[in-house]
Each structure stands twice: as structure tokens, then as C-alpha cells.
Amino acid sequence: MKILTVEGVNKSFGGLKALNNVNFSVEQGAKHAIIGPNGAGKSTFLNCMIGRLAPDTGTVMFGDISLTGMKPYEINQVGVSRVFQTPEIFGDLTLLENVMIPSLAKRDGEYALHPFKRMEHDAEIRDKAMHMLEDVNLENKRDMTASSLSRGDKRRLELAMCLSQDPKLLLLDEPTAGMSRADTNKTIDLLKRIGDRGITKVVIEHDMHVVFSLADKVTVLAQGTIIAEGKPEDIKGDPRVQEAYLGGAHL
Amino acid sequence: MLGLNKKDTGLFLFVLALIVFAPFILNPFPESSDLARFNAGYPDLMQRFVIFGIFAIGFNILFGLTGYLSFGHAAFLGVGSYAGVWMMKLLTVNIVPALIAAIVVAGIFSLVIGYICLRRSGIYFSILTLAFAQMSFALAYSVLTPITAGETGLQLSLADPRILEAANASGTIPAANFFGLEMRSGFDWAVGDWVFTFNFGYYLCAVFMLIAFYISIRIFRSPFGMMLRAVKSNQQRMGYTGLNSKPYMLAAFVISGMYAGLAGGLMVAVDPLAGADRMFWTASGEVVLMTILGGVGTLLGPVLGAGMIKYFENIFSRLNESDLNALFGFLPDFIQAPLVTVAQMFVGDGWLMTLGLMFMLIVIFLPGGLLEGVQRLGALVSRKKKTNEPSQPAAAPAE
């Protein structure tokens, strides 16, 4: 069963055609990577899925729900979470609060005005948040302000925030960009672990090491068009992919 | 206690004590001393302390938690005042209907303005709120004169219907009261050379401030408060986390508008006169200053800031040359004369300069406001105490 179906998506910025008639689908439970050289339109593509950008034409279907025209919070409420290229966290809040907010959003919906409810009495949310922080090994820093974390920790925190919502589809935009090799490997392990929870993942990635460790299917995007799709091993040897990446130089 | 944790209970009791003992705390100098002119323990000023305290507490719920800087909150205060006076004119001089109307009308008004202004954020939001407040101000002076009485200000008159009250044959306008207890009633208590004034109007306003403060603590500690802080921190992320920030923002805006309405209602309860100048942009700016001066986003800060600005406005602005001469009278003449000349620039009409300087100093050196200053002092004291003890983890900053 397909969890995400993108059909005929076009997106232009002025004269630049960022996405050119993209058709794309993701199987339920798949670990799908989107790769491509800089400026290929990967992030634009993700932004069109999540409601940050509206595609000029085309449809994005999540199961049988059309995501086109929906607001970001509505898209999240149906079960799509996203990890950003630069970690988007609540910098002024503590780690625990950072993880409690998405759990509250999941449980209480897009808004719930409880001006008199006491946060510390909400054991369910609190325990879940603690559990999520343990999952990403940040439980000892739970009372720290999130902005004081290192970049790698911020990414792990953001991942915990997304996972605490038990999303059906998790979109990851370069989850290891700017990380040291050690941090990258830790993140890969973490992502592998959550793979067992049945969350469908779509990863945008530059780092081939990450792609081949994580994905079971790879889509290659270049100049706004999908040029190849298949198993990681097949993609590796595809001449079109090498051309797109290396500009036609011979290896 | 009351659903507050230990730290917040302490804070609440501290404010309670401040309020109850204000007549003593604000009158530290004996009547006959030169310093008596720095006494602030008279009913009019004490009422202003707590009323503006309420205004600032409410403003802080919006500005402190969400970071949305409204430059038009005085409009809600003004609307509350007008609603209050109208209730006293139409129904009764008992202040209860006046206060309820002030809160409700300001709430509805802020719902409308908030709905429109919150479509934008940052500087555009501030400008929109400013524009709305100035518009209300201009309307009150022009088209709405039948409701607002324009420049004269809306006040009680003998001919008012006051339908809930028995016929009044005394020939005077009845005084504002709370179920028979007049707002201006009270007594003086002389102890030696000190005179302490206890005023019913002040204590009634103080009870309202205490309730306002309590509600503000609960909001700060609730999931709602956490979401408001999330708005300030990263509104984008909120959206991608499945949260619609609009209802939260609007609720915060309306709550702070209702606080302003309550403050406006109390202002007319202690002095039944409502003028449009209460809505002028400087009045909106004043509450911004109070909040920043005291400490944005802290619980106690706005109360301190409001007290400080009102103290300067009322005490420093009244000092004149002869006061200064008396104050510096102990100095030799050749020092006294230049000192008085310099000091004169900062008192009387120059009090705004004092305020401006203080504001600059605090913003530069204590970005967290007066409360940060208090905390730093506290930290300094406890560090000195602890030199002999093993080091302990630093206390979390009190709010």
C-alpha cells in the first residue's frame, strides 16, 4: 500500500523551474531516500509535501487525504512529521518541554486552551516525554535550555520531538548534515532503531554512507526531475546518476 | 497551596505581604522629617500602584510569554473605564456592575482588535495595535463624543438614571461604593511621628491585583502558558508540530485585554471619571516600559516596574527647588547650590529624564529588568555566605 503519492508536481520560482512534473510514491513502511546534487530541488520537494510551499500544479496524497492546500499544522495532525535541515526546536524551552509540546499536540489536537491546568500534573505526557528523551540519550539534560545543546544533540532532540507523535510518515531533511562521523553513526543507529516501529521514512541526504546504511529504495532528483529510482545498489552504478553528480566526468 | 508549587506559593505570599503592609512600607519616613516628601503611602498613589500593577501583569501575559509587543493596550484600559462609568451612570454607583462591564467590554473589544492584528507578527503587529489604539483615541474625541463626552471626560452627574438605586434626594452625587462601603472611606493611624493611611479603595484594588497575580501564576505554569512560550521561541516549529498558534495568541491577547479592562474599571471605581487621554499612545508605551523595567516574562517584574514608574511619576515630579534646598541643606552652600541646580533637571518636569536614564541603564546593564538586579544581589549575598560551605548547584532563576 502506498502511504504517499505525489503526482505531476510542478513548482517554479520566477523563471527557475525547481520541480518539473515530479511523480513519486512511497510504500507503507518503506525507508525511502531522495538524493541529488545541490539545487536539484530536494528541499523544495519536501516543502511541497509538508505545506511550507504550495505546488503550482499537481497533487500530494497522504493515504487518501489530499495534502495540497492544507496548513502545516493540519498536515502534521494527520500523521506527517518533519525533521529540518537546520534543527527547528524551541530554543528558550527546556528539553523536557520541547518533547512535551508535540505529545500535547498529538493528544489534544491543534489547540487546547487550558489556562488553569497544571503542567506537572500531566503525568502521561511527562512520562512519555521522559521516555522519548531516554530513547535519544538526552534524559540527563532534560532541564537544560534547548538552545544550549550542541548541533548533534539538537538534531536528536528534534527527532525525539517528531517521534513522540508516533507519526505515520517521517520526513528527514539531511538528518546528518554538519555532523561529525561519530555523531552521524549514532544518528544512523537511532534511525535504524526507529525503523522497527513501523514508521515510514523519507530521507533527503547528501552523504552516500548514510543513504546506503538507511534506505531500501532510492530516488534520484536532478534539476527538478526524477532521473532514476531503485535499490541502492542499482542506483550506485547508474550512469545517469553519475552524470548528474559528477557532471559527466569519467570515474 | 491553591494549586501552586512551593516556590510560587512563596512568591504569592510575598506579594500578599507587600500589599497588606503597603501603608507601612510606603511611609517609612516620619511626617516632620525632610524625607517625608518621599513617602508614597497615600491612598491615591497606592491605588495607582496596584491598578497599574494589574495592567502590567496582564500585558506581561501577552508580551512576556508570546513576545508579541502590543502598543495599543491603553485602548482596552480606556474602553474599560468608559464601560465602568456608564454602568455607574445607568445602573448603580456600586462598583460591581462597573467592573464586570469593564472586563467584558474590554474583552470583546480586544477579541475584535486581536483577531485583526494577530494576522501579522513582529513590528507589523505592533504598528497595527498602535494604529487601533490611536484610532480609538481619535474616535473618543470626535464621533463618539455622545458616549465618551469628548474632552470633558465622562463623569457622573446628578441627573443620571441609576435605575438600580433608590431615589436620591440628598442633592449630591452618591459616592462609588462596594455594597455600601465607600471607596474613599478609611482611617489614619498615627504612631509617634508616623501617620499610616488605610483606605478601603486601595485594599479592594489590592485584592483584585492579588487575584490577577494568582491567575497569572497559574497561566504561566499551565500547558497554555507553555504553548505561549513556544510561540515566542519558534512559531514555525509549532506549526510543523501540529499546533495552530492563532487561538493561543488570540486567547492571550484577550486575557491581557481583560486585565487592562479590569484596571480601567478600577480606575473609575476609585475616581469616577473617564477621559480619552487614557487611551493615548503614551499610556500604551507606559505599560511597555513598566514591563521591561520590571522584567519581561517574569511573574513579579511587571508589578515592580509598575510601582517604580508610578512612584517616579508622582514623587519625583512633585519635587521643586525648595524641596531640594531642604534636602541638601546639610551641605555647605558652595556645594549645595550647584548640586541643587543639577538635581533640579531630574525632578519636577524633569522626572521623565530620570526615568529615561534609569530605563537606559536597566536595559543596558540588566536586560532582565529590576528582577534580574534583585536576583544578582541575591546571588552575590548567597555566594558570600557559601564560601565556607561546599559548592551547591546554582539555584534556578526565580520567576
Report the CATH number at residue B124: 1.10.3470
pTM for this predicted structure = 0.90
Distance CA B371, CA B387 (A): 24
Contact call for residues A86 and A176 (beta carbons, < 8 A):
no
Q: Any bridge partners for residue B196, and if so which?
A: B189
What's the rounded mean pLDDT across residues A213-230?
87
| Nearest CB to B244 within list A50, A92, A111 | A111
What is d(CA A136, CA A130) in angstroms, rounded to the nearest whole number?
10
Structurally, chain B folds into a number of domains equal to 1
Residues A93, B255: C-beta atoms closer than 8 Å: no
- Does a structural domain hold residue B189? yes
Look up residue A94 and give its DSSP letter: B
pLDDT of residue A246: 63
Inter-chain CB proximity A111 and B236 less than 8 Å: no
- Provide the pLDDT confidence category of residue B388 given band limits of 50, 70 and 90: low
Domain assignment present for residue B95? The answer is: yes
Domains of chain A with CATH codes: 1-79+169-187+199-251 (3.40.50.300), 85-166 (3.40.50.300)
Question: CB-CB: which of A81, A82, A101 is closest to B226?
Answer: A101
Calculate mean pLDDT across residues B200-226.
Answer: 94
Under 8 Å CB-to-CB from B324, ≥6 apart: which residues? B340, B343, B344, B347
The answer to whether position B119 is within a domain reads: yes
CA-CA-CA-CA torsion sign (B324, B328, B333, B334) = negative
Say if B93 falls within a structural domain: yes
A148–chain B Cβ distance below 8 A for any pair: no
Cβ(B108)–Cβ(B122) below 8 Å: no
Q: Which triple of cell numbers denotes residue B190?
A: 498615627
* Domain enclosing residue B70, as ranges: 6-300
Residue B255, class by beta-carbon neighbours within 10 Å (0-12 exposed, 13-18 middle, 19+ buried)? buried
Q: Which of residues 302-321 of B touch A (CB under 8 A)?
A: none
- Are the C-beta atoms of residues A129 and A100 closer than 8 Å to each other? yes
The predicted complex's ipTM stands at: 0.88
Q: How far apart are CA B306 and CA B287, in angstroms?
A: 8
Render pLDDT for A66-102 as a digit per residue (tens, 0 to 9).
Answer: 888 888 899 999 999 988 888 899 999 999 999 999 9
Q: Who contacts A86 (Cβ-Cβ below 8 Å, separation ≥6)?
A: none
| Phi, psi angle pair for B283, to nearest 5° | -70, -35
**Average pLDDT over all residues of chain B:** 88
* Cβ separation B240–A82 shorter than 8 A: yes
Phi-psi group of A123: left, alpha or beta (phi > 0 → left; psi -120 to 50 → alpha; rest → beta):
alpha
- DSSP letter string, B214-225: HHHHHHHTSHHH
CA distance B232 to A145: 14
B189: which strand partners? Answer: B196
B186 three-class SS: strand
Is B363 inside a domain boundary? no
What are the angstrom distances between the C-alpha of B379 and each of A43, A107, B121, B375?
48, 40, 37, 6
Higher pLDDT, B108 or B332: B108
Facing B237 at nearest CB: one of A88, A113, A116? A88
Q: What is the pLDDT of residues B110-160, one digit of tens each?
A: 999 999 999 998 899 999 999 999 999 999 988 888 888 888 888 888 888
For residue B238, tell me if it sits in a domain.
yes
- Over the stretch B61-74, which tens digit does the pLDDT of each residue have? 999 999 999 999 99
The answer as to whether B355 is a domain residue is no
Answer whether residue A187 shows pLDDT above 90: no
Considering the domain boundaries, does residue B310 fall inside one? Answer: no
**Is the predicted pLDDT of residue B391 greater than 50, yes or no?**
no
